């Protein structure tokens, strides 16, 4: 484990991926020596074959980033130099042809002198966001097979090819299909796995990235960037929804320093993902096993009293306003003459970011479902919704009826505001 290695070598004081530091493209001897003389902890370098793709191609792994196919530094020389230091190792492969020869060399080095540190092996094995179909990734099945056969004592870093185009509205991010393909490829490998994820796309793709991360305690993320910088806010969002040891931040200056400063001096609201785990929200780390579920009253006085209590889950029955059909309001109005709207609830919760309450919306009707989801999306876009949100579809009998189309319910949630926990009765699972 990289964090164990850095902790044991005295480079870091705790298991926190934010503390790890990186040197990129330490390929040439000049760059490699510069990295070795610096205080960075992990050297990242690119491996290809000498003369790759030319008539002069040789089965000799060298350190070069495409389009370069020649270098003053071979992988053999690079490993000898780095293994004489206390640096971690990350090797990036842009083509499968160099993988087998490199693994043979790693096996040989481990036998002759010992590799006493983590080695990360990276390759983009799937097409990711915005990458056209004619662009081919590294063959993931073969990449993993070669590692298992020749030198399995590594950390895997299987990623997606990504095309990030700034300032383009609606640019794609990581999808459910992408993460499920990745999980299918790596679910049975025995190694630790760190998934490289583009830092400018991670927030909008968190619904799916977080699912993948939570499939195994062996999994972690490594956020990376190109020439465009992520926002500190997006980095804090990831930080607030993971454990420190789950994420490495391969981010450039000056953003990295600004992010570290913000993470160190947190005084604002925790940017909790609304589709996240309720227990993690209420009791970060270990906590009680029981949660109270009070039914919230619909008038403002009762709402505020509830928010001042210890915390738990606010259960709201969402019905239509009698005077304005289609406007979501809270049910069980009691004696109040003025309906308490869902919009007002969102405003109150936005004002009380300190109140440790999740929200469970039990929505009565498809039209109200759409209106409620659009309201949640608007509140989330305004950065005023950082608490767990559960949602279910109710019939007039307060239970699922046979004519409720649960598939349509789920697809509506996916389309309008997917960052929630969907609650389904067992007989209505799609």
The pTM assigned to this predicted structure is 0.88
Average pLDDT, integer, range 52-64? 95
Average pLDDT, integer, range 273-295? 72
Q: What is the pLDDT of residue 246?
A: 97
Pairing of strands 88-93, 42-49: parallel
User: Structure tokens of 136?
Assistant: 């081919």
Match 């071979």 to its residue by tokens: 74
Tens of pLDDT, residues 122-157: 999 999 999 999 999 999 999 999 999 999 999 999
Tens of pLDDT, residues 253-271: 999 999 999 998 876 678 8
Q: What is the pLDDT of residue 399?
A: 46
Q: What is the pLDDT of residue 406?
A: 79
- At residue 356 the predicted structure's pLDDT band, cuts being 50, 70 and 90, is confident
Q: What is the pLDDT of residue 294?
A: 52
Residue 278 pLDDT greater than 60, yes or no: yes
Residue 398 pLDDT greater than 50, yes or no: no
CA 132 to chain CA mean position, Å: 23
Report DSSP state, residue 297.
P
| DSSP string over 53-91 | TSTT--S-EEE--TT----S-BHHHHHHHHHTTT-EEEE
Ramachandran quadrant class, 393 (left: phi over 0; alpha: psi -120 to 50; beta: rest): beta
The domains of the chain, with CATH numbers, are: 2-272 (3.20.20), 279-428 (3.40.50)
Look at 312 and 175; give whichever has higher pLDDT: 175
- Round the average pLDDT of the chain to a whole number and report it: 89
């Amino acid at each position: 484990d990289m964090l164990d290695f850095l902790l044991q070598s005295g480079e870091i004081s705790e298991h926190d991926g934010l503390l790890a530091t990186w040197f990129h493209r330490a390929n040439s001897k000049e760059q490699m020596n510069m990295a070795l003389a610096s205080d960075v902890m992990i050297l990242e370098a690119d491996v290809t074959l000498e003369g790759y793709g030319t008539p002069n191609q040789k089965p000799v792994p060298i350190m070069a980033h495409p389009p370069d196919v020649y270098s003053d530094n071979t992988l053999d020389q690079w490993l000898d130099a780095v293994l004489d230091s206390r640096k971690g190792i990350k090797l990036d492969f842009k083509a499968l042809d160099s993988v087998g020869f490199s693994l043979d060399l790693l096996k040989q080095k481990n036998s002759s002198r010992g590799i006493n540190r983590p080695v990360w092996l990276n390759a983009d094995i799937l097409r990711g966001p915005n990458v056209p179909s004619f662009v081919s990734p590294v063959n993931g099945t073969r990449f993993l097979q070669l590692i298992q056969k020749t030198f399995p004592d590594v950390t895997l870093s299987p990623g997606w090819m990504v095309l990030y185009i700034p300032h383009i509205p609606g640019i794609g991010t990581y999808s459910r299909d992408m993460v499920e393909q990745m999980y299918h490829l790596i679910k049975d490998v025995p190694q630790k796995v760190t998934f490289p994820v583009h830092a400018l796309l991670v927030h909008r793709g968190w619904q799916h990235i977080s699912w993948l991360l939570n499939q195994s305690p062996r999994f972690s993320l490594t956020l990376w960037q190109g020439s465009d910088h992520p926002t500190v806010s997006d980095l804090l969002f990831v930080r607030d929804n993971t454990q420190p040891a789950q994420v490495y931040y391969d981010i450039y200056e000056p953003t990295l320093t600004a992010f570290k400063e913000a993470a160190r001096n947190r005084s604002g609201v925790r940017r909790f993902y609304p589709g996240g785990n309720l227990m993690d929200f209420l009791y970060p780390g270990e906590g009680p096993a029981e949660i109270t579920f009070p039914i919230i009253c619909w008038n403002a006085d009762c709402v505020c009293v509830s928010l001042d209590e210890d915390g738990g889950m606010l259960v709201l029955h969402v019905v239509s306003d009698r005077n304005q059909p289609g406007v979501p309001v809270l049910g069980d109005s009691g004696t109040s003459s003025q309906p308490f709207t869902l919009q007002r609830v969102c405003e109150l919760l936005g004002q009380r970011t300190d109140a440790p309450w999740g929200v469970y919306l039990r929505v009565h009707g498809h039209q109200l479902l759409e209106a409620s989801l659009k309201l949640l999306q608007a509140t989330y876009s305004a950065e005023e919704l950082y608490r767990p949100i559960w949602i279910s579809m109710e019939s007039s009998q307060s239970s699922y009826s046979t004519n409720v189309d649960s598939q349509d319910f789920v697809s509506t949630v996916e389309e309008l505001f997917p960052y929630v926990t969907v609650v389904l009765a067992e007989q209505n699972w799609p």
